[in-house]
């Protein structure tokens, strides 16, 4: 996936001169995950450059660039480090269009690796998507495949509003697939049906998609039930109609994310279904999530939802 991100950046930088890549170590080094590898070489240090170690500065300067005709792609090295820039993201980028009545806008993309699975402990593993999905004015996008990573990234960069682009670092070097050369986009706000089925639906995104797909496969194998796995892809704005349709079709719902449960994104999905499709529910809506604790290090595999936990939750809703 990390190569797809790199390819996406290269493709859009060729297409659009106003696209700039900036962040810590994104230049000659090519980023700590090599997502920006060779971009400085290819486009020069005016288009892809290292910045001082200051998240607030990266985003604050990015907001200024975006307001004045550029399309900055700011990298925050780990999502865990984004909080110094929270003010610039939430109070500035997200609200600029609104507070200026559309006079000033911020077409900026913030790329950041998120989530566990690399033995990163509590400061290299966080999943903070809910903070941003809660903020009006931001879009929140999380790919789970190389194809989507490139297509969604290009769509995000071309989007007229600020986009939080969360990259599941656990999948950077996992799932491999051929990615088409050149420009293509994947629509924001459209879910992806990963597997077909009508016995229960599992909603997930990012690194949880392969976990849920595996759980669905095991259910099929052991009980011959068809589980629909839906990759939400864009958390804000959400493709609500698709979520409700899947919920109505299946009547049994499991929501999976690695972020903590309390006020997590799964709460929103659960509430959405409860408000709009309760009479189709054959069983309670189950959430499989990280625990309501900081992210552990040594015991991270016990914290992260895995296929077995998802499998159990699907069984629970099937057997209700």
Partner 1 sequence: MSDTLQIIDESGKKVGKAPRLKRETLLRMYRAIVSTRSFDDRCMKLQRTGRIGFSIPNKGVEATSVGAAAALDAAQDWIAPHYRDFAMMFYLGIDVNGMFDNMFGNADDNAVGRQMPVHFSFRDPVNWLSISSPLGTQIPQAVGVAMAMKQRGEKGIALTTFGDGSTSTLGFHSGLNFAGVFGSPVVFLCQNNQWAISCPSEEQTASESYAIKGEAYGIPGIKVDGNDVLAVYRVVSEAVKRARAGEGPTLIEAVTFRMGGHSTSDDPSRYVEQSEFDAWEKRDPLFRFETWLKSEGHLDDEKIAAIRAETDAEMMAAAKAAEAKPRPKLGTIFSDVWEQMPPHLDAQMNACISHFAERDEAVDEKGEFPL
Partner 2 sequence: MSALEFKLPDIGEGVHEGEIVRWIVAEGAAVQEDEPVVEVMTDKATVEIPAPASGTISKHLYGEGDVANVGDVIFVLDQGGGGAAAPAAPAAEAAPAAAEAAPSPAPAAVAAPPAPAAGGGTLEFKLPDIGEGVHEGEIVRWIVAEGGSVQEDDPVVEVMTDKATVEIPAPASGTVAKTLVAEGEVANVGDVIFVLATSGGGAAPAAAAPAAPVAAPASNGAAPAVAAPAAAVAVQPADPNRKVLAAPATRRLARELDVDLSTVAGSGPKGRVKPEDVRAASAAPAAPAAAPASAPAPSAAPAAAPAAPAAEAPAAALPNFPQIMGSREVEEVPFRGIRRKTAEAMTRSKFTATHFSLIEEVDCTDMVEARNTAKKVGERYGVKVTYMGYIMKATAIALQEFPQLNAELDEERGVIKVKKYVNLGIAVDTPNGLVVPAVKDANLKSILQLSADLMDIANRARTGKLKPDDFADSTFSISNAGNIGGVLATPIINFPEVAIMGVHVMRKMPRCVGDDIVARQVMNLSISIDHRLVDGADGARFMVRVRELLEDPSLMLL
CA-CA distance, 224 to 316, in Å (whole number)?
15
Are 150 and 6 in contact by the 8 Å Cβ rule? The answer is: no
b/e map 286-307, b = 16+ CB within 10 Å: bbbbbeeeebbeeebeebbbeb
Are 110 and 76 in contact by the 8 Å Cβ rule? The answer is: yes
Task: Give Rg (Cα) of the chain.
Answer: 19
Are 76 and 111 in contact by the 8 Å Cβ rule? The answer is: yes
Minimum CB–partner distance for residue 317 and partner 2 (Å)? 10
Q: Is 61 exposed, middle or buried (0-12, 13-18, 19+ CB in 10 A)?
A: middle
Strands 200-204 and 139-141: unpaired
Q: Which does 278 bind (CB under 5 to 8 A by kind): partner 1, partner 2, none?
A: partner 2
Piece of the chain touching partner 2 by CB under 8 A; list 143-151, 195-203, 280-288, 292-300: 280-288
Nearer to partner 2, 32 or 283 (CB): 283
Near partner 1 by CB under 8 A: residue from 54, 196, 222, 301: 54
318 Cα distance to chain centroid: 28
Main-chain dihedrals φ then ψ at residue 59, nearest 5 degrees: -75, -40
> Residue 177: which residues within 8 A CB-CB, separation 6 or more?
145, 146, 147
Q: Which does 282 bind (CB under 5 to 8 A by kind): partner 1, partner 2, none?
A: partner 2
Terminal-to-terminal C-alpha distance of the chain: 38
CA-CA distance, 224 to 13, in Å (whole number)?
47
> Residue 144: which residues within 8 A CB-CB, separation 6 or more?
168, 171, 175, 205, 206, 207, 208, 209, 210, 231, 233
The answer to whether 281 contacts partner 2 (rule: CB under 8 A) is yes
Binders of partner 1 in range 143-172 (CB under 8 A): 160-161
Q: Which does 320 bind (CB under 5 to 8 A by kind): partner 1, partner 2, none?
A: partner 2
Near partner 2 by CB under 8 A: residue from 46, 52, 279, 298: 279
String marking each residue 242-271 x if it binds partner 2 according to CB under 8 A: ---------x--------------------
Nearer to partner 1, 212 or 269 (CB): 269
CA-CA distance, 193 to 206, in Å (whole number)?
14
String marking each residue 183-212 x if it binds partner 1 according to CB under 8 A: ------x-----------------------
Q: Which does 251 bind (CB under 5 to 8 A by kind): partner 1, partner 2, none?
A: partner 2
Kindly name the residue from 71, 124, 150, 169 that is annotated as catalytic: 124
The answer to whether 98 contacts partner 1 (rule: CB under 8 A) is yes
Minimum CB–partner distance for residue 70 and partner 1 (Å)? 5
Nearer to partner 1, 17 or 282 (CB): 17
Piece of the chain touching partner 1 by CB under 8 A; list 48-56, 174-182, 201-209, 248-256: 48-56
| Catalytic residue flag (residue 257) | no
Minimum CB–partner distance for residue 314 and partner 2 (Å)? 16
What are 125's strand-pairing partners? Answer: none
**Active-site amino acid positions:** 124
Which residues contribute to the site for partner 2 (CB under 8 A)?
251, 278-283, 320
Which residues contribute to the site for partner 1 (CB under 8 A)?
20, 46, 51-52, 54, 56-57, 59-70, 72, 84, 87-88, 91-92, 96-105, 136-137, 139, 160-161, 189, 237-238, 240-241
């Amino acid at each position: 996936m990390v190569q797809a991100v790199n390819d996406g950046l290269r493709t859009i930088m060729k297409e659009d001169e106003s696209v700039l890549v900036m962040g810590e170590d994104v230049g000659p080094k090519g980023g700590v995950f090599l997502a920006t590898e060779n971009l400085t070489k290819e486009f020069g240090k005016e288009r892809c450059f290292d910045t001082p170690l200051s998240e607030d500065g990266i985003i604050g300067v990015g907001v200024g660039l975006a307001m004045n005709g550029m399309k900055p792609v700011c990298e925050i090295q780990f999502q865990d480090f984004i909080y110094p820039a929270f003010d610039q993201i939430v109070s500035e980028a997200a609200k600029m269009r609104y507070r200026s009545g559309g006079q000033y806008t911020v077409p900026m993309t913030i790329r950041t690796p998120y989530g566990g699975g690399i033995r990163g402990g509590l400061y290299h593993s966080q999943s903070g998507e809910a903070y941003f999905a809660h903020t009006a004015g931001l879009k929140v996008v999380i790919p789970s495949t190389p194809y989507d990573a490139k297509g969604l990234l290009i769509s995000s960069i071309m989007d007229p509003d600020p986009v939080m682009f969360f990259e599941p670092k656990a999948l950077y070097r996992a799932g491999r697939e051929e990615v088409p050369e050149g420009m293509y986009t994947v629509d924001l706000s459209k879910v992806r049906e990963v597997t077909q089925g009508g016995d229960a639906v599992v909603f997930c995104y990012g690194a949880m998609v392969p976990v849920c797909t595996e759980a669905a496969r095991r259910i099929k194998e052991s009980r011959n039930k068809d589980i629909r796995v839906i990759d939400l892809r864009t958390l804000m704005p959400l493709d609500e109609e698709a979520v409700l349709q899947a919920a109505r079709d299946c009547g049994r719902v499991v929501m999976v994310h690695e972020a903590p449960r309390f006020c997590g994104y799964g709460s929103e999905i659960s509430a959405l279904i409860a408000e709009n499709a309760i009479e189709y529910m054959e069983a309670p809506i189950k959430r499989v999530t990280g625990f309501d604790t900081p992210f552990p290090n040594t015991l991270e595999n016990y914290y992260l939802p895995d296929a077995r936990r998802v499998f159990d939750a699907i069984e629970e809703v099937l057997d209700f």
